[in-house]
Amino acid sequence: MKKIIAYNRVERPVLDDLKQRYDVRFFKGIDPAADSEFLHELQMAEGIIGLELPVDENLLNHAPNLKIISNVSVGYNNLDLEAMKKRNIMATNTPDVLNDTVADTVFGILIATARRIPELDQYVKNGKWEIKAVGNDLFGTDVHHKTLGIIGMGRIGKAIAKRAHFGFDMDILYHSRSRKPDVESTFQAGYRSLDALLQESDFVCLITPLTPETEGLIGKREFKMMKNSAIFINGSRGKTVVETDLIDALRNGDIAAAGLDVYTNEPVEPDNPLLTMKNTVTTPHVGSSTHETELKMSELAAENLEAGLNGRKPPNLVDPSVWTETTT
């Protein structure tokens, strides 16, 4: 039986199924540098499946038999693709199955931030609702008919634009590496430079992958360009934003509020100022985390893994040039 390493997050039915055909060693969480048991298993493993294990040269040096790393995520910023390519190790991800779920999450956070839903929930539950008509200190701001700027117009960006345009009558602006004629015609979206988008948008939604080009994309200069009334939403990766600059922007009133699903460090540090601000809404990196979609992602990741282990081309190869007959 081929040995594989599985770690959080692989849904139970998928894990049980893999156990029928593979020698599966499951880890709940892994500290690759310190976990000697993991390093031992890695010597024999032909495949790895899980969410965002940081993979670098050092880890790969312990994995002489490894053929494939199957991420249970669409993002693959955890992988050193160059180092993997040198060793003919395949990398796969789980695109598409999560698009609508992530778009729902982003929209949920956007509305929650604009309408201050978590704060109002606490207001009611803490017995502070004493007179029927609450004061305007508890009012929010409208979402419908406002301008939404989307940075990163990939498959998830499109699903967000669809909700905003057809559901909320919003004007859509977008910025991405290339123009998308289909997005412009379907959602009447306007392409803008990053700076123009930041200046014109009521809501700025960041949904780009984390790459060397997008790391720190939004910092002090960019927050200063946004409207003071702007609401910033991050559904991408924490490191696309300079978090200390975001904190300053919220404190100084450069922007009005932020809805955040991702952070520089995850789990976010308990003393991070973002957690005690009134004008932030926070969720623990759960963009795709519904029962239905997590199961679909695990299934797709397992399909990728099994293909790679058994000489078939995985459907979601991140870098197709790594596919050669010699990897089998």
CA atoms within 13 A on the CB side of 225: 15
Q: Is 75 in the site for ligand GLV (CB under 6 A)?
A: yes
> Looking at this protein, which amino acid is placed at residue 53?
L
Contact yes or no for 236/152 (Cβ under 8 A): yes
Taking the complex as a whole, the smallest distance from the CB of residue 264 to ligand GLV amounts, in Å, to 15
> Looking at this protein, which amino acid is placed at residue 228?
N
Segment contacting ligand GLV by CB under 6 A, of 58-66, 73-81, 168-176, 298-306:
73-81
Residues 167-206 vs ligand GLV: string with x where CB under 6 A? ----------------------------------------
163 catalytic, yes or no? no
Closest CB to ligand GLV among residues 149, 287: 287
Distance of CA 62 to the CA centre of its chain: 28
Contact yes or no for 18/39 (Cβ under 8 A): no
Closest CB to ligand GLV among residues 48, 255: 48
Closest CB to ligand GLV among residues 171, 261: 261
- Total binding residues toward ligand GLV, as defined by CB under 6 A: 6
Residues 87-126 vs ligand GLV: string with x where CB under 6 A? -----------x----------------------------
285 catalytic, yes or no? yes
Give phi and psi for 17, each to the nearest 5: -65, -45
Q: Check 9, 116, 165, 237 and give the catalytic one.
A: 237
Give phi and psi for 92, each to the nearest 5: -130, 160
Distance (Å, rounded) from C-alpha 62 to C-alpha 55?
Answer: 11
Q: Is 208 in the site for ligand GLV (CB under 6 A)?
A: no
Distance (Å, rounded) from C-alpha 245 to C-alpha 140?
Answer: 24
Segment contacting ligand GLV by CB under 6 A, of 17-25, 34-42, 72-80, 300-308:
72-80
Closest CB to ligand GLV among residues 140, 209: 209
DSSP 3-state of 147:
strand
Q: Check 144, 266, 269, 312 and give the catalytic one.
A: 266
Q: Is 74 in the site for ligand GLV (CB under 6 A)?
A: yes
Residues 265-304 vs ligand GLV: string with x where CB under 6 A? ----------------------xx----------------
Taking the complex as a whole, the smallest distance from the CB of residue 275 to ligand GLV amounts, in Å, to 20
Give Cα separations from 221 to 206, 225, 240, 281 (angstroms): 16, 6, 14, 23
Sheet holding 90-92, edge to edge: 23-27, 3-7, 47-50, 68-71, 90-92
Q: What is the CA radius of gyration of the chain?
A: 22
Taking CB under 6 A as the criterion, the residue among 48, 69, 73, 150 binding ligand GLV is 73
Q: Check 285, 294, 299, 306 and give the catalytic one.
A: 285
Taking the complex as a whole, the smallest distance from the CB of residue 289 to ligand GLV amounts, in Å, to 9
11 catalytic, yes or no? no
Q: Quote the strand ranges of 240-307, DSSP E.
A: 257-260, 280-282
Taking the complex as a whole, the smallest distance from the CB of residue 278 to ligand GLV amounts, in Å, to 27
DSSP 156-198: HHHHHHHIIIIIH--EEEEE-SS--HHHHHHS--EE--HHHHH
Catalytic residues, by residue number, are 237, 266, 285
Footprint of ligand GLV (CB under 6 A): 73-75, 98, 287-288
